[in-house]
Amino acid sequence: SGVERLGDMIAAAKTIVPFTGAGISTECGIPDFRSPGGLWTRNRPIPFDEFVASQDARDESWRRRFAMEPTFAASKPGRGHRALASLYRAGKVPAVITQNIDNLHQASGFAADHVIELHGNTTYARCIGCGQTYQLDWVRQQFEAEGAAPDCTVCDEPVKTATVSFGQAMPEDAMQRATELSQACDLFIAIGSSLVVWPAAGFPMMAKNCGARLVIINREPTDQDDIADLVIHDDIGESLGPFVGN
Ligand code: OAD
Ligand code: ZN
C-alpha cells in the first residue's frame, strides 16, 4: 500500500522535510480554503492593498478573525502534526515548512525556530508599519472600545494578524530557510496542500529538482502529482497515523 511504501521511504531517508497546508489541520476542526465549505468558498480573501487602504476592510478582516477565535483556541494537534513531531524528535526531520498560520506544529512539539512559517501566524498581531507585535486580546479590547480596528500605538499604521495576505511581501527569512531545507533534504513530503499558491508551491518541485524523493499526501489531485515518486490520495490522519510514535 501507499502507507507501506511511505514507511520504507521514511526508513531509508536521512533528512526528511515536511511541507504542510491547511489539509493537515482539518481534523483539528480548522477549515481549509478550497475544499467544499473551505474559507474561500464562504468569504472572498481581502488583499493586502485593500486592508491598507480601507478602514472597512480592516474592520471586516478583524471581525472574521474574532469569529474564528473559538475554533483556533479549541484546536489541538492532529495525527499528522503528531507523526511529524515524532520524526522530528527522532532526528529525521530538521524543521517543518508550513503554509499554515494556526501554530499547531509548535503545539505538537516543534521548537518555534524549527517551524518555517511561509504565511505567518494568526495567533498574534503585528503593525504593518513598524512591526510592533500585539496580543489578539489587546486588538479585541481596542476594537470593542472604538468600534473599529485599531492602529499601532507607536507609529499609527494599521495592526494586522501576523499573517501574509495576498499581495503582501513574503517573509524573506522563511523563504531563505525553506529554500535551503528543500535543497538539502533527501525526502520531501507535501501534506494537505492544493499546491496552487505561489511561491510556496514551488518548494516541492525545488526539492525534487535537487534530487530529493517527493511524496504528496492529499485527498485531491495536485498539479505536481506527476513529478512525485509517491502520491497518496487519502486522508492525512489515516496515512500518517501509523507514524505517530514516542
Ligand atoms: P487548500 O484549501 O488550497 O488545500 C487543502 C488541500 O487539503 C485540499 O486539496 C484538500 O483536498 C486537502 N485536504 C483537506 N483535508 C484533508 C484530509 N483530512 N486529508 C487529506 N487531504 C485533505 O489549502 P492550502 O494549500 O494550504 O494563503 O492553501 C494554500 C494557501 O492558500 C494558504 O496558505 C492561504 C490560502 O489562501 C494565504 O492566504 C496567503
Ligand atoms: Zn507601528
pTM score, two decimals?
0.98
Is the CB of 118 within 6 Å of ligand 1?
A: no
Q: For a pocket test of ligand 1, which of 3, 33, 68 has the largest count of ligand atoms closer than 8 A to its C-beta? A: 33
Q: Atom 22, ligand 1: which residue's CA is nearest? A: 23
The percentage of residues in the chain with a pLDDT greater than 90, rounded to a whole number, is 100
- For residues 195 and 191, what is the distance between their CA atoms, to the nearest angstrom? 10
Look at residues 118, 110, 87, 90 and name the one whose alpha carbon lies nearest to residue 188.
Answer: 87
Nearest ligand to the C-alpha atom of residue 153: 2
pLDDT (0 to 100) of residue 233: 98
Cα–Cα distance, 227 to 241 (Å, whole number): 25
Ligand 1: distance of its center to the CA of 15 in Å?
Answer: 25
Quote the ipTM score. 0.99
Mean pLDDT, residues 70-79 taken together: 97
99 touches ligand 1 (CB under 6 Å): yes
Please state, in angstroms and as integers, the Cα–Cα distance from residue 112 to each residue in 103, 107, 154, following that order: 9, 9, 26
154-170 per-position pLDDT tens digit: 999 999 999 999 999 99
Ligand 1 atom showing the smallest separation from residue 26 Cα = 15
pLDDT surpassing 90 at residue 9:
yes
Q: For residue 228, is pLDDT > 80? A: yes
State whether residue 114 is helix, strand or coil.
Answer: helix
Q: Return the bridge partners of 231, or none.
A: 216
Q: Is 119 a catalytic residue?
A: yes
Helix ranges (H only) for the chain are: 2-12, 39-42, 48-53, 55-74, 79-89, 104-108, 136-146, 172-184, 202-209, 236-240
Tens digits of per-residue pLDDT, 88-123?
999 999 999 999 999 999 999 999 999 999 999 999
pLDDT per position as a tens digit, 179-218: 999 999 999 999 999 999 999 999 999 999 999 999 999 9
Across the range 164-178, mean pLDDT stands at 98
Cα 35 from Cα 199, distance rounded (Å): 21
Q: Is 218 in the pocket of ligand 1 (CB under 6 A)?
A: yes
Per the prediction, the chain carries an average pLDDT of: 98
Q: State whether residue 158 is helix, strand or coil.
A: strand
Neighbours of ion ligand 2 (CB under 5 A): 127, 129-130, 132, 152, 154-155, 157
121 lines ligand 1 (CB under 6 A): no
Q: Is there a cis peptide before residue 45, judged by omega within 30 degrees of 0?
A: no
125 contacts 162 by C-beta, under 8 angstroms: yes
34 lines ligand 1 (CB under 6 A): yes
Distance from Cα 162 to the centre of ligand 1, integer Å: 19
Catalytic one among 81, 105, 114, 119?
A: 119
154 CA distance to ligand 1 middle (Å):
36
Beta carbons of 206 and 49 less than 8 angstroms apart: no
pLDDT range class, residue 246, cuts 50, 70, 90:
low
Apex CA 162: angle with CA 156 and CA 166, to 5°?
95
Determine whether the shortest distance from the Cβ of 23 to ligand 1 is under 6 A: yes
